[in-house]
Amino acid sequence: MKFRCERDVLVDALTTTGRAVSGRGGALPVLSGIRFALEDDALVMTGSDLDLTISVSLTVAGSTDGSAVIPAKLAADIARALEPGAVQIEAKDNEAIITAGRSEFSVHLAPAEEFPHLAGPTGKSVTLNAAEFSEGLRQVVPAASADDSRPILTGVLLAAEADGLRLVATDSYRLAVRDLPGASVLEEGQEVLVPSRALGELTRALGDAAEVVLVLGERDATFDIGATRLTTRLIEGEFPNYTGLIPTSQPNRLTVGRTPLIDAMRRVKLLAREATPVRLVMQPDRLELIAITQDVGQAHEELDAKYEGSDLTVAFNPEYLLDGLEVTPGDEVTLETVDALKPALIRSAEAVDFLYLLMPVRVS
């Protein structure tokens, strides 16, 4: 294998594919490398940890076809350090020779034949509006669990809804639901569970692309964004029944400016150390935020707000509340609840296709 390309192109491709390479040095040592496969002028670079695979197709000046696996981190470090301009990579015997200007590196290769063969997607492909899909992911992915202890909850549910696609994530403390009307990806009643880590990477890869092509297989999902292809294993198992959790009518309703609330929360949470919550004291026409950490101090702030209902104090994990407020669209948000121990429903006062349900913190 031998080809030339621009350093910047190589750096971008190594960075993108490198995101799928896990640092944990799993069962297959060869997976700490990026596979390069060259045919004529078409180079495909692939990084994978078996759960997530990212490949990038490039047009380069090819001279000898072939394939090689080069250590991912080292290759990326070298490419970044090179002078801008043309880079040549040649795989010879057990080494990759990387040359640019007067620099030359030879790097030991991993055995290319050990790199797992990854089949291309099979199934019907659907094209989605990338901006909308990306926004939806940005809204729900943070609510997915980061604990591997509950694998089902580390996934984002993609479910067919009457008039489109629904994205759902929960870590059991909060639940985020986004509807994408008009996007029909799934068969009626069909739902799949996609690892949130893969979707986080997808959001990154989407950038300002116009569209993304999705192919759902039996066990995996493939997303094509221009020259980048991301394939992820699907999570098997049943997502908890979330629809019953969403309350339909709640007696207490707070309406408040979203940005002022976010800013005030960020200030007040400075005094909510460790596991202490921020308390929201809701009274007619105003909202008070209070944080008290023993032996440290306290913070207090008042905001103008509209409130219908009985006087109520509810405590929340400030990070969880901010996660929801930051991705709720519009200038005003509503917070609806029953009492201090029941889930609070956070929505935009204007848009209806996103909701964030948050359980309070019980203070004794």
What residues line the site for another protein (CB under 8 A)?
145-149, 170-175, 240, 245, 274-277, 294, 315, 317, 320, 341, 343, 357, 359-364
Joined together, the tokens standing for residue 220 give 């995996």
- Between 164 and 240, CB nearer to another protein: 240
Nearest distance in Å: CB 88, another protein: 42
Give the nearer residue to another protein in terms of CB position, either 71 or 277.
Answer: 277
Nearest distance, CB of residue 170 and another protein, angstroms: 7
Nearer to another protein, 30 or 292 (CB): 292
Strands laid side by side in the 103-108 sheet: 61-64, 2-6, 86-92, 95-100, 103-108
User: Which tokens in the block code for residue 255?
Assistant: 């309406």
From the CB of 68, what's the least distance to another protein, in Å?
A: 32
Among 221, 301, 235, 229, CA closest to 264: 301
Alpha-carbon span 192 to 199, nearest angstrom: 13
Supply the minimum distance, in Å, between the C-beta of residue 330 and another protein.
24
Smaller CB separation from another protein, 44 or 144? 144
User: How far is 302 from 267, CA to CA, in rounded Å?
Assistant: 12
Using only C-alpha atoms, what is the Rg of the chain?
25
Nearer to another protein, 156 or 216 (CB): 156
* 3-class SS string, 94-131: CEEEEEECCEEEEEECECHHHCCCCCCCCCCEEEEEHH
Closest approach of another protein to the CB of residue 134, in Å:
25
Nearer to another protein, 119 or 275 (CB): 275
Closest approach, Cβ 124 to another protein, in A, equals: 33
d(CA 68, CA 95): 9
